[in-house]
Structure 1
């Protein structure tokens, strides 16, 4: 069967082609122009001659100025012909000295013919190549504006997203008074948005194609009326939210820093989620926590119980302070357990202690340098005890000794000093070993996010503009199996739905069929949506139970 676009998707393709910045012959614009046209045609494949002609006509309109002369001179009838002509005419002519510099900086692997310059790559892209479905495409932020319309129309889970914010119609105006904000291309920020229905929200998302969607509180009236409300808007409810960022662990992670994250430092996030989830359930009685990977290097937790959503600002601050056990002195984190260890700290230690050696001593080798040993010493709050410990460790180990050896010596010394006589080690520092473990592995919360009743937080299923990754839900019970490095990018997802549709032809044959498989089920995003829907089922079951009790 001939692959043919539906009229709806043909119009979408034409709309996106018209939004591509025109090419007037400037050599520095050639690569971006070709990549965007190629990508749009890749998203909307067709073998129909009439549709090819229509699409090519739209492309020709985007070729202006001097470049239009090339189009007319070559009498090109297809994009491939025009593409080749533009590359031949406007590709950058690299000076010989520049070629030598690039060759010198290229990793030579034994075959000169394998060394390719960017200009050669541009020429070779014009030739048909066999698809490599096994390799995920590299995310290119420059074509995010072309990918977002397809993502929001075909992949974003609009119906479950609405069900979440609507809370089963359990309260009046809970959806319509919710503040939502959009961040558009070029950092255009739009606040005080609100919507009456799922269809209205979906239409606005698909129309504006936001780079980021933020969710705020439910207000006392429609947020869009903020200019006319006497005294301003007042938040009346909002999920209790937590934000944990890997950058807050930069002083103790040696594998990565800044925006980077790997499987080793993901273990900090894993333990943070486990400890926080247990505290919220056992100490506060909350049941409905939605855990989200932030798309780059952190995690968010949305506590959606009715009680949590109706906490006032003082109660939120109290919860945040209860869960925030770290104190900082001269930029050094410390924990004070006191004479009687609180049950929440004992529970946290049961979760953290089994992973301490693997994470701190092996993965990070935290005390394997003089700087690392000094960090350990600074956690000892008593100056005299700290100096004695430093002298002991210097006698026991040379600089660069492995963290495991340093830690074992520290534990032996602390235990021997605590039992030898009545001193600071048997009083103030009697829990120092456990305090260091808590200090290094306990969740490092951004408590201002939790305290803020009016704070807006990034919504699930957004695309992180810097990484292209989906802000995807995960199950805290399976957090150890979650791999942030393999979270799908928008490029990968669109490739997956194209590969599925090419294989089955289902999308082209029955684009309007309501029984057709949902597009996100064709992709690696499916698991995240399943986690989200399972969370919603438990949440909605709770609403039904309360309704029956009433």
Structure 2
């Protein structure tokens, strides 16, 4: 309760969900589904609120373990029982992406499951870079909010009006456009791209080349241990080439990863003339080991729930804070504040300024803590949205 009473940024959060230039609640806020997950795992869906104060009071009263945002419906979700089920229709929601580190478990070696560290977090950095530029350059979206999930991944909220109004088929088309890695855990080679890459994939490949060597050679040590390099060798579509490289690496296991990779490139390059299946194999493996892995169901279904920014992750206790895209390479997943940390910071600030006579009593509590920089970034994101909404209103007039 301390967090939602003292630290949650209610006013900017309302401004976001309201999608209007006036403080009066709009249909975007009134008809938005809020889903509460309580401390005892009780799941309360299809909640909606008439005012910010009502939303705030319910949040403090319920003290949720977390809460998710759903779609904006044609009527208030709380009133859905007043109409036929078929008449309760989702009409808008941000285009969202969910990237979870567990989807990289077959290739990362430093951590597994819910554990993350700065080494494997580079996968998230690559994903942010590739998806962000695709949304901006290929689809023309401007208002993109990246958020740390609180534990092992990232969420992306594309808030442009055009993005919010996409139907499920249009969302599927965007995911299909982005999707490169296909197949479950049992499938070995998951990437088979054409000889000539689409311009968007050529651009993505530049980002992949920036990070591949550090990820594969250094942080994940894929070519340092037999059990790891074997995963790459078994993907080579020629058993003879596989065997030659395997034998060479086993004979000199301590060679630098860069030397092993160079040998793989040379060996395959010499065989391409006789074995067409080897063409583009190294490039496709680079994609398989670094390209974003999307949870497509989250993106393609407009009424899918997604954990809200600024809620607290129930397992780690960390706040789900926004990540500026320009700072993505420096983000540390262990850095977002926890509730006990925020309480300590608030108490320290109040004790320090108790007798100073400054304007500290006019500040909101989150402004006195390390949460401040995250909320202020969120407010800058909202300014861009508000500016565009005002311009659209003027054009409409």
In which range does the TM-score fall when normalised by the shorter chain? over 0.9
User: Which SS does the other structure have where 1:280 is aligned?
Assistant: helix
Q: RMSD between aligned alpha carbons?
A: 2.1
Whether the aligned pair in 1 keeps the contact of 2:19 and 2:26 (CA below 8 Å) is no
Asked whether 1:155 is paired with 2:7, we answer yes
User: Matches of 1:366 and 1:246 in 2, distance apart?
Assistant: 17
State the shift of 1:151 in Å: 1.2
Deviations 1:149-181 (A, max 9, x none): 221111100000000000115995111011101
The 2-side partners of 1:392 and 1:252 are apart by: 20
Uncovered stretches (5+) of structure 2, i.e. residues with no partner:
none
CA-CA distance at 1:207 after TM superposition: 1.5
**Which has the larger Rg?**
1
Q: How does 1:372-383 map to 2 (within 5 A)?
A: 372-380=228-236, 382=237
2:102 corresponding residue in structure 1: 247
The aligned counterpart of 2:394 is 548
1:70-81 alignment runs, 5 A limit: none
Cα deviation per residue 1:67-100 (whole Å; 9 max; x = unaligned)?
xxxxxxxxxxxxxxxxxxxxxxxxxxxxxxxxxx
Match of residue 345, structure 2, among 488, 496, 502: 496
- Report matched runs for 1:59-98 at 5 Å: none
Q: Determine the C-alpha separation between the residues in 2 that align with 1:301 and 1:469.
A: 18
Offset at residue 417 of structure 1 (A): 2.3
**Contact kept? 1:217, 1:455, Cα under 8 Å:** yes
Aligned to 2:260: 406
Aligned equivalents of 1:186, 1:408: Cα separation in 2 = 54
- Relative distance call for 1:482 and 1:356 in structure 2 (3 A) is same
CA distance in 2, matches of 1:502, 1:242: 42
Give the SS at the match of 2:29.
coil
* Partner SS state of residue 186, structure 1: coil
Aligned position for 1:480: 329
| Alignment counterpart, residue 256 of structure 1, candidates 111, 122, 128 | 111
Correspondence for 1:528 among 368, 374, 383: 374
**CA displacement, residues 259-281 of structure 1 (integer Å, 9 cap, x when unaligned):** 11111111110110000101111
Q: 1 CA distance for matches of 2:377 and 2:308?
A: 15
Deviation per CA, 1:105-133: give whole Å up to 9, x if none.
xxxxxxxxxxxxxxxxxxxxxxxxxxxxx
Number of residues paired by the alignment? Answer: 391
| Corresponding residue to 1:283 among 138, 152, 163 | 138
Q: Which runs of 5+ in 1 are unaligned?
A: 1-148
* d(CA) in 2 for partners of 1:539, 1:461: 18
Question: Greater RCO between the two (CA within 8 Å, min separation 6)?
Answer: 2
Aligned to 2:55: 201
TM-score scaled by structure 1?
Answer: 0.68
User: CA 1:386–1:272 in structure 2 vs 1: closer, same or farther (change >3 Å)?
Assistant: farther
**TM-score, length-scaled by structure 2:** 0.93
Deviations 1:216-268 (A, max 9, x none): 00011110122221134210111111000111111111111111111111111
Q: Which of 287, 291, 313 in structure 1 is aligned with 2:168?
A: 313
Kept in 2, the 8 Å contact 1:393–1:409? The answer is no
Relative to structure 1, the CA distance from residue 169 to residue 192 in structure 2 (aligned partners, 3 Å threshold; closer, same or farther) is farther
Mapped contact 1:469–1:490 kept (Cα < 8 A): yes
Spell out, residue by residue over 1:322-355, the C-alpha distance to the aligned partner (whole angstroms, 9 max, x if none).
Answer: 1111122733242122132111111001111021
2:205 to 349, 356, 369: 349
Whether the 8 Å CA contact 2:21–2:390 is kept in 1: the answer is no
Secondary structure of 1:485's counterpart equals coil
How far is 1:308 from its partner? 0.8
Aligned equivalents of 2:338 and 2:252: distance in 1?
43
Name the SS of the counterpart of 1:497 in structure 2.
helix
